[in-house]
Structure 1
Amino acid sequence: MGGNHTPKAVGIAWALLGLNTLGSAGAKTIIPLPRSLIQMATMGALVTAFALALVLNPRLRIRPSAFVLLLTLLLVPSLISSADLESGFGALFRCARLAVFIGTLWLLSRWWDGSLTFVRYHIRMYFAVLVLVTAGLVISPGAAMPELYGGRLVGALWPLTPPQIGQYAAVITGLTVLLLLGRRIDRVSAVVVIVPSLVLLAMTHTRTATAGLLIGLTLAIGSLVLTSAAARRFFAWAVLVTTVAAVGFASALRTWFLRGQSQENFTSLTGRAKVWDALLAAPRTTTEKLFGVGLGDKSFDGLPIDNSWLAVYNEQGLIGVVLVAAFIIVLGGVALLRPPSLPRACAIFLISYVGISSYTEAGLGDASPYLLHLALAASLLAAPAAATPLTTPAVPRRRIPRWARDREVT
């Protein structure tokens, strides 16, 4: 069950989970793709991932995981709130999707051993998505940077929004930087991943992803400073470069950060705060407060909620909020208790990134890339599989013939 013995098909199952979480709503593509066709592809990917994981793990061997257990418990308020069909039959469909997603994680947990195997799967998976985004940009720059999104980069071949692309670029950049510091990847391969990803991140103008990358890397590298000379050198250079950039390019950075918005629009988080206030002010029954209104499309009155905590409160109630907070706290606590190591640093980066993104992005209560990031963190924090059994079976003593014992005595 160690990282070296993980079947290659496990990586395929992980990539299929990633495909399922890409979503079906976003920018207009060069070749119009019916939403029903995209949904069939994403759901087909999830079912295939579950079937493949089941074939790879027919005896249903799993690793204990507090994260996946708490995620499984999240199904309870989801089902209770969705059963009355207030959110329509789509709510029950989303519950089934979440259940299959969690079931696949349980099956794949057999290979969670604290190694970096799943980190490499994660990077390859999202780098492939960014290659698809780049292809769309080359084929049709106008469709890839439409005026509808303020000239920000979107998916022209697959309907991806700027925040999605920014998230994928930021996550694989952070993980690749950490692998480079840990000398688990050569410099050429690291540059091939990091440089294009940073360019795409800048083209999306995604502030949350940028902040998550910087803060997450700071915390992750900080956890290695005492044990890694490479981390100390990188940290020192990063502080120097950041200081110079802040002083020399302050005006350009401020322009990029504001994205042409007014100060009022910026302080209201691009109008998000108005949706949040309306959601919190809406009357709710006791049942709706505890269990929510059922899994939906993470919107309120037709407007996106764009906050994981409020989206969970709306759809899975206060019980859902408690469970989501619990699995993030558990992951963070385990990461702090682990001795310094590269897998721990990668886990700290992922947990920090998801925590920061949860303020302006929804997804912690349903199958999403954010839950996949946290599942990766859980795999990195899992205890390594024992190479030998805990108890050594007793070796039967060889019976020595009497004549031999007599000879030894003489």
Structure 2
Amino acid sequence: MTEDLRSGTPKLVGVVWGLLILNTLGSAGAKTIVPLPRSLIQLVTMGALVAAFTLALALNLRLRIRPSAFVLLLTLLLVPSLISSLQLESGLGALFRCTRLALFVATLWLLSRWWNGDLTFVRHHIRMYFAVLASVAAGLVVSPGAAMPELYGGRLVGALWPLTPPQIGQYAAVIIGLTVLLVLGRRADRTSATVVIVPSLVLLALTHTRTATIGMLIGLVLAIGSLVLTSAAARRFFTWAVLVAVVAAVGFASALRTWFLRGQSQENLTSLTGRAKVWDALLAEPRTTGEKLFGMGLGDKSFGGLPIDNSWLAVYHEQGWIGVTLVAAVFAVLGGVALLRPPSLPRACAIFLISYCAIASYTEAGLGDASPYLLHLALAASLLAVPAPPAPPLKPVVPRRHVPRWAKEGR
């Protein structure tokens, strides 16, 4: 089996990670150039998850796993998900989503064997999401009208694969942040980093995704801040970034405000594009004690036919207060471990991912089900894992020399 010589991780582990990313791309989005039936997309994404689990099992037949509080909490999250979904208030689809979440978590358990606190999975993460963004860019080139439809206010969508502007913005923001950190840590050369960062910045700007942009900036500030005391490159970058931010705020204030508002009124912005009305209605919905504790079952993250667009309220609606407590514990554990680790590049990458997911959770759903956000947090968990101790060297077996019988008798 071929392995990455730098990390000792089989190269096929990267394939498993890519299949998990493919599974979490989703099946709902804009109209594509070539119409793709939703059933076909769901077959591809679910097939990718089954393939990921099968391949991970083949690579880890002895079921060697590493202790992981993160994956353990996700395993516990299956309990309220299953209890509430068995009531079938959300239909048979709830049980299907429970099965999907169980396979997702089981695959993470199998991959935990190779979580050693190195940057192997970071590179897999960047490569796969950059490939997704390349498909978005290809769709923009082939059909600009389909890639920036009026239905989404002229924001960039996936024209080859149905991706929404928030999805594209999320993928671009995450790989930009991780690539910047790799450059500061001298783990990536500037040429290859430019190839990733510049197109991703363009796509992020075309999506007009405020949450992704704010999450990326705050995440980078926190991550680079964790390196300032130990990295001269981080100090220089932080200084220049502050100067550029001041100049941009003064010289391009009008353009930045226009981009941020996206043509919306101040009232619409205050209500978070109508999200607040859905949130108020969800919280006002009468619920039984069981529904408050375990939720209504895994659904499509909507309430009254409208998207919830808040991870905490979506978890409360589908998995109850128990689910909210477990998701909060995930952030508490990952954040606590990150603060206790000594300054390092893997720690900085983990801080970026944790802070980005925490910020995005306010206007995006996904922390209670198989989603890119759980993959980002899984990557953070792999970066915070303590390297496994090296296996002790095997003692050479010295063959016993044959001693004649007469020698034993002293003759």
TM-score range, shorter chain: over 0.9
Does 2:103 correspond to 1:100?
yes
Does 2:275 correspond to 1:272?
yes
Within 1, Cα distance between the matches of 2:153 and 2:133?
A: 20
Q: What is the aligned residue count?
A: 396
SS of structure 1 residue aligned to 2:201:
helix
Alignment match of 1:324 (pick from 320, 327, 332): 327
1:97 shift after superposition: 0.1
**Who is 1:405 aligned against?**
none
**Who is 1:190 aligned against?**
193
SS of structure 1 residue aligned to 2:223:
helix
1:57 shift after superposition: 0.3
Report matched runs for 1:5-404 at 5 Å.
Answer: 5-389=8-392
For residues 277-320 of structure 1, give each alpha carbon's deviation from its aligned partner in whole angstroms, at most 9, with x where no partner exists: 00000000000000000000000000000000000000000000
For residues 377-410 of structure 1, give each alpha carbon's deviation from its aligned partner in whole angstroms, at most 9, with x where no partner exists: 0000000011244x999x99xxxxxxxxxxxxxx
Within 2, Cα distance between the matches of 1:198 and 1:142?
A: 20
**Who is 2:404 aligned against?**
none
TM-score (norm 2): 0.94
Unaligned runs of 5+ in 2: 399-411
1:81 shift after superposition: 0.2
**Who is 1:407 aligned against?**
none
SS of structure 2 residue aligned to 1:74:
helix
Within 2, Cα distance between the matches of 1:235 and 1:40?
A: 45
SS of structure 2 residue aligned to 1:4:
coil
Give structure 1 regions of 4+ aligned residues with deviation exceeding 4 angstroms: none
SS of structure 1 residue aligned to 2:264:
coil
Within 1, Cα distance between the matches of 2:65 and 2:250?
A: 52
Within 1, Cα distance between the matches of 2:88 and 2:190?
A: 53
Within 2, Cα distance between the matches of 1:11 and 1:213?
A: 24
1:3 shift after superposition: 5.3
Within 2, Cα distance between the matches of 1:146 and 1:158?
A: 14
For residues 10-58 of structure 1, give each alpha carbon's deviation from its aligned partner in whole angstroms, at most 9, with x where no partner exists: 0000000000000000000000000000000000000000000000000
Within 2, Cα distance between the matches of 1:305 and 1:77?
A: 19
In structure 2, give the amino acid aligned to 1:132: S
For residues 56-84 of structure 1, give each alpha carbon's deviation from its aligned partner in whole angstroms, at most 9, with x where no partner exists: 00000001100000000000000000001
1:4 shift after superposition: 2.1
1:155 shift after superposition: 0.1
Within 2, Cα distance between the matches of 1:154 and 1:107?
A: 34
Within 1, Cα distance between the matches of 2:154 and 2:7?
A: 44
**Who is 2:403 aligned against?**
none
In structure 2, give the amino acid aligned to 1:253: L
1:5 shift after superposition: 1.1
Within 2, Cα distance between the matches of 1:286 and 1:392?
A: 59
Unaligned runs of 5+ in 1: 397-410
In structure 2, give the amino acid aligned to 1:353: Y
Give the % identical residues: 84
SS of structure 2 residue aligned to 1:172:
helix
Within 1, Cα distance between the matches of 2:100 and 2:391?
A: 38
Within 2, Cα distance between the matches of 1:163 and 1:206?
A: 6
* Contact 1:3-1:111 at 8 Å conserved across structures: no
* Contact 1:3-1:115 at 8 Å conserved across structures: no
In structure 1, give the amino acid aligned to 2:304: D
* Contact 1:324-1:364 at 8 Å conserved across structures: yes
**Who is 1:406 aligned against?**
none
